[in-house]
């Protein structure tokens, strides 16, 4: 049996003695030993056992607000001396590619202080449910306009009745 094919398992005690800096038992044998294992010294591999049972949370992708992006772009453009932009980026934990991308977005007009665009799938205008929702929204708008008009008419009628001292019949007077 060749030396390369020999497989040796290391016991827990041997790992502890190796970690403590002591030599394993085979290393203490006389150098003139007849076993082929004496020629090859096997070193114990320490087991990677974590003493902390807590699960590490998955890293989350950073999200930058539009206001933050615009502020960083302003600060970067205000830098005049060499190395100031790099110091700014190191301090904020950003990369030069962030500045490049944010400048492109600003030039395209996509980096504005407006409300963020809704995420997700866009509604399909061909679906009946979408068409019905649009119809209801238009009807709701029309009814709100009629309500405002009716409230204005009622307010005018109240003022006219106050000016002319006419009872609108809201309260019953005994006859």
Same domain, 41 and 81: no
The total domain count for the chain is 3
Q: Considering the domain boundaries, does residue 11 fall inside one?
A: yes
Q: Considering the domain boundaries, does residue 146 fall inside one?
A: yes
Q: What average pLDDT score do residues 116-130 get?
A: 80
Q: What is the pLDDT at residue 148? A: 96
Give the pLDDT band (50/70/90) at residue 162. confident
Q: Considering the domain boundaries, does residue 115 fall inside one?
A: no
Is residue 137 predicted with pLDDT exceeding 70? Answer: yes
Instruction: Give residues with Cβ within 8 angstroms of 38, minimum separation 6.
Output: 26, 29, 31
- Lowest mean pLDDT, pick from 28-42, 57-71, 94-108, 151-165: 28-42
Scored b (16 or more CB within 10 A) or e, 138-149 reads eeeeeeeeeeee
Is residue 90 predicted with pLDDT exceeding 90? Answer: yes
- Give the gyration radius of the chain's Cα atoms: 41
Tell me which residue range forms the domain holding 101: 66-108
d(CA 12, CA 45): 11
Q: What is the pLDDT at residue 28? A: 53
Could you count the other beta carbons within 10 Å of the beta carbon of residue 11?
10
pTM for the whole structure: 0.37
Give the pLDDT band (50/70/90) at residue 56. confident
Q: Considering the domain boundaries, does residue 25 fall inside one?
A: yes
Q: Considering the domain boundaries, does residue 132 fall inside one?
A: yes
20-29, 72-81, 156-165, 166-175: which has the highest mean pLDDT? 72-81
Q: What is the pLDDT at residue 12? A: 54
Q: Considering the domain boundaries, does residue 77 fall inside one?
A: yes
Q: Considering the domain boundaries, does residue 116 fall inside one?
A: no
Q: Considering the domain boundaries, does residue 30 fall inside one?
A: yes
Same domain, 104 and 134: no
Same domain, 81 and 42: no
Same domain, 104 and 137: no
DSSP state of 51: S
Map tokens 């390369």 to a residue. Answer: 4
Closest CA to 111 of 123, 99, 122, 120: 99
Closest CA to 6 of 34, 30, 40, 32: 40
Pick the more confident residue, 47 or 108: 108
* Mean pLDDT rounded to a whole number for the chain: 77
Q: Are 42 and 26 in contact (CB under 8 A)?
A: yes
Same domain, 129 and 104: no
Same domain, 1 and 32: yes
Q: Are 44 and 14 in contact (CB under 8 A)?
A: yes
């Amino acid at each position: 049996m060749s030396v390369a094919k020999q497989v040796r398992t290391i016991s827990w005690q041997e790992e502890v003695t190796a970690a403590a800096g002591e030599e394993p038992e085979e290393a203490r044998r006389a150098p003139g030993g007849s076993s082929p294992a004496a020629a090859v010294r096997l070193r114990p591999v320490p087991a990677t056992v974590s003493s902390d049972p807590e699960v590490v949370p998955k890293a989350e992708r950073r999200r930058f607000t539009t206001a933050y992006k615009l502020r960083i772009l302003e600060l970067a453009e205000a830098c005049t001396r060499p190395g100031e932009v790099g110091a700014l980026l190191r301090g904020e934990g950003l990369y030069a590619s962030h500045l490049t991308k944010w400048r492109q977005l600003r030039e395209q007009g996509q980096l504005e202080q407006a409300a963020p665009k809704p995420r997700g799938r866009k509604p399909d205008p061909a679906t009946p449910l979408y068409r019905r929702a649009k119809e209801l929204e238009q009807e709701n708008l029309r009814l709100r306009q009629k309500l405002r008009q009716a409230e204005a008419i009622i307010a005018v009628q109240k003022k006219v009745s106050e000016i002319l001292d006419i009872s609108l019949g809201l309260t019953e007077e005994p006859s």
